[in-house]
Amino acid sequence: MRIVVQKFGGTSVHTRELRQKAATKVKEAYEEGFAPVVVVSAMGRKGAPYATDTLIALAQEEFPEIDARNLDLLLSCGEIISSVIMVQALRRVGLRAVALTGGQAGIITNKSFGDATVLRVEPDRITKYLKDGYVAVVAGFQGVTEDGEITTLGRGGSDTTAVVLGVALQADYVDIFTDVEGVMTADPRIVPEAQILKGLTYTEAAEIVQQGAKVIHHKAMDVAREYRVPIRVRSLNDEGKGTLICDIQTLVREGLRVLSHERPVYSIAYRRGLAQFRASFGGQPELKLRLFQALAEHGVSIDLINLFPESTAFVVDEKVKEKVQTILSREGFLFEMTSPCAKVSLVGSGMADRPGVMSQVVEALRDAGIEILQTSDSHVTISCLVAEKDMEQAIRALHRKFQLDELC
């Protein structure tokens, strides 16, 4: 039995027209000989009577605080509603389908309400339905503990549901349907001429996601990379197969990659809403450790870390900049803050072995009149911190410089 897991996010199921398109994609897979397993996100939005925000507001009318266990019970409702409605849409196109909660689908988690970790998947119930000719429609974002408590999987939980089911069912593919045609050379809303990347390795895709692309959640991407389950990032509005994420051997076999990959850059990702800090150690090198200890003790995650003998520079999410200011002031550090900033990252192949890539980056941004506030690099990435107001211009300049509109 050939199995495909198809995940439809909230933007793909929130109207009847979109649900019909989703149902058509499921039927196409069924007619191609696949046994489809569908994962859905919540379709409710603020203001709708069944929306999560509406239900939370209703509960808070009675008492403002909701304990974590009951909140997860409430949060799970949106996906359960979506699964039943999607079953009805599938029946409308002639398919037999059954709705399952995460727990009924065999997703067993720990007891970390709000951000539970999947411990294992027991797929026997799904497999039985598939053998009987049903499409299994699973409520994403949720699971159940060993003792029957409903949990939610945190941000990107429906992507995680799809991938762990793909692993457990040994699916041929996990299809992630989004509002773009696939993984692109850049965000098409910023660079209209951005191209679809038809094939990526797990490592390449994981790096693009880690640097800010929102096509699939990084937790789900990490699971896919570890267990080597092929992913296709696709669009409801496109007949193509989108982007295939798998191992290099499969990409070569499918004609989506040649082994002599000549280009050092194939995609540009970004993260906005950042704040840069530059802190001085005032001639006391022992303060280096204390600075990072203080940030860790207060649960502050830092990025783009540059460490020098007398100072350091790092980046945090803008949401915690006041917290960081308080910590540094209390610890007696002299510091400067620049905000708002954005990180623009070039993702490629073997950058460390290719002289001249950084000079091209600097040249492109200089010619665009954009100041580089900070940089970092690895074997496959070069990241530049710029003022947030310059972010889109920087992305377009770099896309042109590396001729990514000609990549595909």
- The annotated binding site is made up of 7-10, 52, 79, 178-179, 189, 214-215
Indicate left, alpha or beta for 325 from its phi (over 0: left) and psi (-120 to 50: alpha): alpha
Q: At what angle do helices 52-62 and 77-92 cross, to 10 degrees?
A: 140
Q: Which amino acid is at 11?
A: T
Q: Which amino acid is at 134?
A: Y
Helix (H) or strand (E) holding 322: helix 321-330
Query: What does DSSP say about strands 2-8 and 34-40: parallel, antiparallel, or unpaired?
Result: parallel
**Residues tagged in the binding site annotation for ATP:** 7-10, 178-179, 189, 214-215
Measured between alpha carbons, how far is 119 from 102 in angstroms, rounded to an integer?
13
Q: Give the CA angle between residues 158, 126, 174 to the nearest 5°.
A: 45
**Residues tagged in the binding site annotation for substrate:** 52, 79
Counting every residue written for the chain, the total comes to 408
Q: Which residue has the tokens 């890539």?
A: 357
**Measuring CA to CA, which residue among 181, 203, 373 is closest to residue 274?**
373
